[in-house]
Structure 1
Amino acid sequence: MDSSVGGEAHSGGWDGVKHGKNLRLPLKASPIAAEVPRTHLQKFADFYNITYEGLEIWAVLVTEKRSTGRQYMNMSMELLNEVERLDKYVRNITAEVDGTVVHYDDLHGIEINYLFNWYKYAYSWSEYFSDINLTYPVGHALGHKFFIGSHFFGVNRHKESPVRQFLLLLNGPLLILPDFQRGPIEQVEFVTLWYMNQAPNMTQRRRLQALQLKLFKMSRVDNFSDLISFDVYGDQVANSEMLRGTFHTVHLFAVGVILMVAFMALAFSDLTIGSQTALILSAIGSPAIATATCFAILGWLGFPFNSIMCITPFLVMGIGVDDAFLLLHAWRRHSDQPIKERMRTVVLQIGPSMAITSATNTLAFGVGITSPTPQMSGFCLCTCLAIFLDFLFEFLIFAPTIVLFFSAKEKKPAKIVKRWISWEKFTNILLSPFGRISVIIFTISLYAFAFVGVSHLKPSFDPSKTFPYDSDLVVSLEKFEKVQSEYAPLNFISALPDLSDSPQLALFMEMVERLEYSEGCYGPERTQILLRDYIEWEEYKNNTMSFEELPKFLSERQIKDKNIVQYETVNGTIGKVWMNYIVICRGDLDWNRRAMKIDKMRKIIDQYPQFQTSLFDYDSTIYDLIITVKDELIKAVLITFVCMTLACAFMIPTLLGFLALWGQDLDPVTMINVLMAIGFSVDFSAHVCYHFHIGQRDGILMNAKEQVTKILRAVGRPMVEASLSTLICMVPLFFVPVYIIVAFAKTVCLVATLGLIHGIVIIPVCLSFFARTKHIPRDNLVLNEQKEAMLE
């Protein structure tokens, strides 16, 4: 037994049970963008001869029986026997998958709870041998020491004073262990069992999920033991709970679609019932077929599908319906023309602005394809292709449907309300001195609030955001966070220096000490590094400092088969030696601070390249994403800014600001939503700016009011209808108990609202300052006809 025998057992530690494979690995950075963390993971995998893509580390947390209402368990042989029985049950559990009985050992289960087994064995003999001293956190038995703080948490807290409990609540566990926790374990809040499996493919993951879910359901029933209860937290349980949350999305989005159809029926109320039905079906059918075609193409190409792609149909639906409103409104305005000429006019007027918005959306998601996150890159590729296909289908499906089925009801005299509300009156108010000043004040206030929001936006990642709020996993997570706050192991693998080379050995120990005394780490007491024990053993034996006696040392401590040390033997001589050692830190629930700590430690080991040290943490891929998310987001926005000019410069900071004020963090979900919003944000502005450009080019308007009025007559109504239909469709998604879906709904609603405000208020006021004060000379008769057509 030894202080470092937990190397393999806890190389991933608590952080290894946060996210499922389809959550963690797809969110990791790509090999090119994240070569450093990938190299670290690969070194760990090579050391243990495994594939890190298939690595699954999960945990079972033992607590006092829930029905008793007590917080702490009394240490006893009876308790240890029950925990051992639970461990054996887990390692012998079976489940049926597709008619096949699956065993735990079928998933290459690795025994990593031997520290607990050794503690139980030593505890059973502690009354008979005086040299067995099971003090916390480092025990001693038969001349050897071993770390027991990896299985027992909340030790002897019943002795803690109320004042210390209050300080603990404010600051978390102290780095210096208080005296009441040292000594034999009398009471403990949690006993944790760790498990490691290999699930390198979908079949194996489904099998592992079946086993974990069986345990998870049993933990909820709580009938395993009369003495203890337990909670399960693993990747596959989190995946299952996340999938359960998506079912809410499907049901409530269907409600949203029904509401949108009802709104479209109201917007098409001037049409006959048959015409309404055909146009609504084609307006929704065009984006639906575009999305289906996109998925089919990607499927034929063998492109992997990921969960974020489920958002694509919703996005394309919003874009397609917007274009449908524009086409239909333009068709209405030219009712006096023959059908062929009418469609030609509609395509000439609306086609270019639709092309512009489709291009901006496609370009925005095209920028996202370069993201270092494969899941985000795949989502952007899918959406980019679907938007392009929808642009084609709007002209191939919806436009012909207008020609074939458009049939307006008999016109009735305009109602009084409609006569009082007109775009001309709106423009007069908007461009009046009072209106312009009001818009300027409103815009400044809008961006001021946005700036406040952005200043409070911080990189983060919360694992609970990946599954429903009502999940039992939320309760389990609260308990596991207590464990994580005490125990956050970081695994290092280094090439050891020649022991006879004192300067190099001193440099190596200097590196280890810098890691041990990094912010939030406990220091040498809890570090599990076999090298120090080996040096002490060599000195005790009066041997010459070398690794020749290393095999004998490992055999004496019964850890030769634990893969803590790897060495080469050349002609009977020990050559290169690699060692796995662990630095124990206090856990931090703030993912951003944890990511920054990992980044600082990487920089420390980079200063000692001769030892080829790698840092392994099961959540390194998430940390790398958090570290890069701000830079990647800034890069995406800057590229899009160059491509789309000032529209994004106004919309994106405003969107980020109000998302922050609405409770969003700068996490990977927000990054995906912002990339989505970059394209959406310029839709309305692009329509307005394009029509302004046409008016300026043709020089047909006398003044700014006339030009703005014409623009709003052309695109104002479809912009309002498109915005309202989008909001109505998104409202039900706010009732889905999944953070990712609610964040998506918030983003879409904000984009629709801010886009409409910019499109019909802010942009027209800005453009009015650039409108012509003198028009290009034309024949008076032609000019009068154009003005009359404008005011129809």
Structure 2
Amino acid sequence: MVIVGRYEVEKEMNEKPAICDQIPSEKSSATIEESTRASRILDAYCDLISNKYFSSLVIAVLAVYWYVSIIGTINIKAELTPDKLFLADSDLVKIFEARNQYITTYYSVCWVEEFESLPNSVGSYSTKFWLRDYEDFRKQGEELDNSDEFDEMIGTAIEFSQNGSRQYKVSRFFFTTAFHGEELVEWSNRAALLNQWRALADKYSDLGVSIYEDDAKFLDLIETMVPISTQSAFFTFISMFAVAVLFISHPPTLFVATLSILSTSIGVFGLMSLMGAELDPIMMSATVMSIGFSVDIPSHISYHYYQTGPHFCFISLQEIAHMSPSNTYI
């Protein structure tokens, strides 16, 4: 930015003698009229910006902008779905849409009655638990004398040891139970349900209960995105502030430039949230980069204000406006 700024200043200084050497009579009337019209527009613009009533209106609009942006930033929703990792026209996206539309029940290898009493649980009839089957077998079935046949019947649901006797000791087992609900289509709700399972499993830590969920590697990322994004945005903002301190030594100008960067960053987060955007790794990267981009405009404006010295605001605005036709948007 410093190199480009120096190049612009040198180019401007080199163009001034050439402009002064031009003979006014050589200019066409259309060029003079266009220049006069542009000058009138810029003068009107500077008069408008310098008006105290307009400044009060801008401050009021800025306050509303900050309020809306902060509300949106606070209420931003973290969401992570596999379809966001593929192109919009990918066939995998269609598969994920079909899954969300038609598969509304989610199963997890997950103490049994307590799991079945959680919200969204289908109930005991959906639970595949070997002990209940074994109790039914004890009530209705006949004893099996063939241990090989017994082992084959049990399958892989439990692991046990016989210790050279006819008594079997169960060392570990697993069971499955089902949960359903339309809200579970959203992965953030599934992540909340997974945390409920884990909290319930922690109550029986002496039994070594553990939870398995096929999509846990994605669900675990959801609750980390907000704190990671906050930390990244904070340290990026601090870095931009440090850069501004190196090149702008005037405290009021530094404050205005820093406040502009902060305002732009909050606006990006808040307005995108209110527009329905969800916080995912892609948006997280884009918003963090936007903080770096937001330093460009306030740095240029702050530089021109700083270079004008102790002059009035009206004169400063006129100098900025007349620097180049490309800066008329300021």
Which TM-score band (shorter chain)? Answer: 0.7 to 0.9
Q: CA deviation at 1:598?
A: 0.9
> What does residue range 318-329 of structure 1 map to in structure 2 within 5 Å?
326=5, 328-329=7-8
Report the counterpart of residue 416 of structure 1 in structure 2: 33
More contact order relative to length (CA 8 Å, sep ≥ 6): 2
Report the counterpart of residue 103 of structure 2 in structure 1: 484
Residue 702 of structure 1 aligns to a residue in which SS? coil
Residue 605 of structure 1 aligns to a residue in which SS? helix
Give CA deviations for 1:322-355 in whole Å, capped at 9, x if unaligned: 8887455333212179xxxxxxxxxxxxxxxxxx
Give CA deviations for 1:198-241 in whole Å, capped at 9, x if unaligned: xxxxxxxxxxxxxxxxxxxxxxxxxxxxxxxxxxxxxxxxxxxx
In the alignment, the residues of structure 2 paired with residue 323 and residue 661 of structure 1 have an alpha-carbon distance, to the nearest angstrom, of 36
Asked if the contact 1:641/1:649 (under 8 Å) is kept, the reply is yes
Q: Establish whether residue 330 from structure 1 lines up as the match of residue 42 from structure 2.
A: no
For 1:564, give the aligned amino acid: A
> What does residue range 209-248 of structure 1 map to in structure 2 within 5 Å?
none
In the alignment, the residues of structure 2 paired with residue 647 and residue 571 of structure 1 have an alpha-carbon distance, to the nearest angstrom, of 78
For 2:157, give the aligned amino acid: I
Q: Establish whether residue 441 from structure 1 lines up as the match of residue 37 from structure 2.
A: no
> What does residue range 695-734 of structure 1 map to in structure 2 within 5 Å?
695=308, 700-711=309-320, 717=326
Distance change >3 Å, CA 460–CA 433, structure 1 → 2 = same
Distance change >3 Å, CA 706–CA 522, structure 1 → 2 = same
Q: CA deviation at 1:681?
A: 1.9
In the alignment, the residues of structure 1 paired with residue 132 and residue 52 of structure 2 have an alpha-carbon distance, to the nearest angstrom, of 80
Q: CA deviation at 1:716?
A: 8.6
For 2:282, give the aligned amino acid: V
Q: CA deviation at 1:453?
A: 4.3
For 1:489, give the aligned amino acid: Y
In the alignment, the residues of structure 2 paired with residue 554 and residue 431 of structure 1 have an alpha-carbon distance, to the nearest angstrom, of 91
Report the counterpart of residue 269 of structure 2 in structure 1: 656
Q: CA deviation at 1:575?
A: 6.3
Q: CA deviation at 1:585?
A: 0.9
Q: CA deviation at 1:674?
A: 1.3
Give CA deviations for 1:481-533 in whole Å, capped at 9, x if unaligned: 24421x211123xxxxxxxxxxxxxxxxxx32222221111121111122332
Give CA deviations for 1:557-604 in whole Å, capped at 9, x if unaligned: 2x53xx433346767786672222212111521111111111121111
Asked if the contact 1:491/1:615 (under 8 Å) is kept, the reply is yes
> What does residue range 82-93 of structure 1 map to in structure 2 within 5 Å?
none
Asked if the contact 1:534/1:553 (under 8 Å) is kept, the reply is no
TM-score (norm 2): 0.72
Q: Establish whether residue 599 from structure 1 lines up as the match of residue 204 from structure 2.
A: no
Q: CA deviation at 1:631?
A: 2.3
Give CA deviations for 1:345-399 in whole Å, capped at 9, x if unaligned: xxxxxxxxxxxxxxxxxxxxxxxxxxxxxxxxxxxxxxxxxxxxxxxxxxxxxxx
Match 2:158 to one of 522, 540, 565: 565
In the alignment, the residues of structure 2 paired with residue 517 and residue 686 of structure 1 have an alpha-carbon distance, to the nearest angstrom, of 59
In the alignment, the residues of structure 2 paired with residue 417 and residue 570 of structure 1 have an alpha-carbon distance, to the nearest angstrom, of 101
For 1:419, give the aligned amino acid: T
Report the counterpart of residue 248 of structure 2 in structure 1: none
For 1:582, give the aligned amino acid: T
For 1:591, give the aligned amino acid: W
In the alignment, the residues of structure 1 paired with residue 277 and residue 136 of structure 2 have an alpha-carbon distance, to the nearest angstrom, of 52
Match 1:665 to one of 271, 278, 284: 278
In the alignment, the residues of structure 1 paired with residue 115 and residue 54 of structure 2 have an alpha-carbon distance, to the nearest angstrom, of 62
Distance change >3 Å, CA 641–CA 323, structure 1 → 2 = closer
For 2:191, give the aligned amino acid: A
Report the counterpart of residue 676 of structure 1 in structure 2: 289
Give CA deviations for 1:765-786 in whole Å, capped at 9, x if unaligned: xxxxxxxxxxxxxxxxxxxxxx
Q: CA deviation at 1:431?
A: 1.9
Q: CA deviation at 1:689?
A: 2.9
- In structure 2, the gaps of 5 or more residues are 242-257
Match 1:689 to one of 302, 316, 319: 302
Asked if the contact 1:688/1:715 (under 8 Å) is kept, the reply is no
Residue 60 of structure 2 aligns to a residue in which SS? helix
Report the counterpart of residue 519 of structure 1 in structure 2: 119
In the alignment, the residues of structure 1 paired with residue 238 and residue 274 of structure 2 have an alpha-carbon distance, to the nearest angstrom, of 27
Distance change >3 Å, CA 715–CA 605, structure 1 → 2 = farther
Return the structure number with greater strand share: 1
In the alignment, the residues of structure 2 paired with residue 625 and residue 472 of structure 1 have an alpha-carbon distance, to the nearest angstrom, of 24
Distance change >3 Å, CA 328–CA 526, structure 1 → 2 = same
Distance change >3 Å, CA 446–CA 553, structure 1 → 2 = farther
> What does residue range 348-427 of structure 1 map to in structure 2 within 5 Å?
413=27, 415-422=32-39, 425-427=44-46
Residue 112 of structure 2 aligns to a residue in which SS? helix
Residue 107 of structure 2 aligns to a residue in which SS? strand
For 1:702, give the aligned amino acid: H
Residue 177 of structure 2 aligns to a residue in which SS? strand
Distance change >3 Å, CA 596–CA 447, structure 1 → 2 = same
Aligned residue-pair number:
299
Give CA deviations for 1:671-710 in whole Å, capped at 9, x if unaligned: 2221121211222223333444455xxxx33222233444
Asked if the contact 1:701/1:707 (under 8 Å) is kept, the reply is no
Residue 334 of structure 1 aligns to a residue in which SS? helix
Asked if the contact 2:304/2:320 (under 8 Å) is kept, the reply is yes
Distance change >3 Å, CA 472–CA 638, structure 1 → 2 = closer
Report the counterpart of residue 129 of structure 2 in structure 1: 529
Quick one: percent identity of the two aligned structures?
A: 21
In the alignment, the residues of structure 2 paired with residue 715 and residue 514 of structure 1 have an alpha-carbon distance, to the nearest angstrom, of 72
In the alignment, the residues of structure 2 paired with residue 532 and residue 627 of structure 1 have an alpha-carbon distance, to the nearest angstrom, of 36
Q: CA deviation at 1:618?
A: 1.9
> What does residue range 45-124 of structure 1 map to in structure 2 within 5 Å?
none
Report the counterpart of residue 584 of structure 1 in structure 2: 178
Report the counterpart of residue 220 of structure 2 in structure 1: 624
Residue 14 of structure 2 aligns to a residue in which SS? coil
Asked if the contact 2:304/2:316 (under 8 Å) is kept, the reply is no
Q: CA deviation at 1:657?
A: 2.5
In the alignment, the residues of structure 1 paired with residue 149 and residue 299 of structure 2 have an alpha-carbon distance, to the nearest angstrom, of 74
For 2:277, give the aligned amino acid: Q
In the alignment, the residues of structure 2 paired with residue 424 and residue 461 of structure 1 have an alpha-carbon distance, to the nearest angstrom, of 50
Return the structure number with greater helix share: 2
For 2:195, give the aligned amino acid: D
Report the counterpart of residue 247 of structure 2 in structure 1: none
Residue 109 of structure 2 aligns to a residue in which SS? strand
Distance change >3 Å, CA 450–CA 556, structure 1 → 2 = same
In the alignment, the residues of structure 2 paired with residue 712 and residue 602 of structure 1 have an alpha-carbon distance, to the nearest angstrom, of 61
In the alignment, the residues of structure 2 paired with residue 439 and residue 590 of structure 1 have an alpha-carbon distance, to the nearest angstrom, of 40
TM-score (norm 1): 0.33
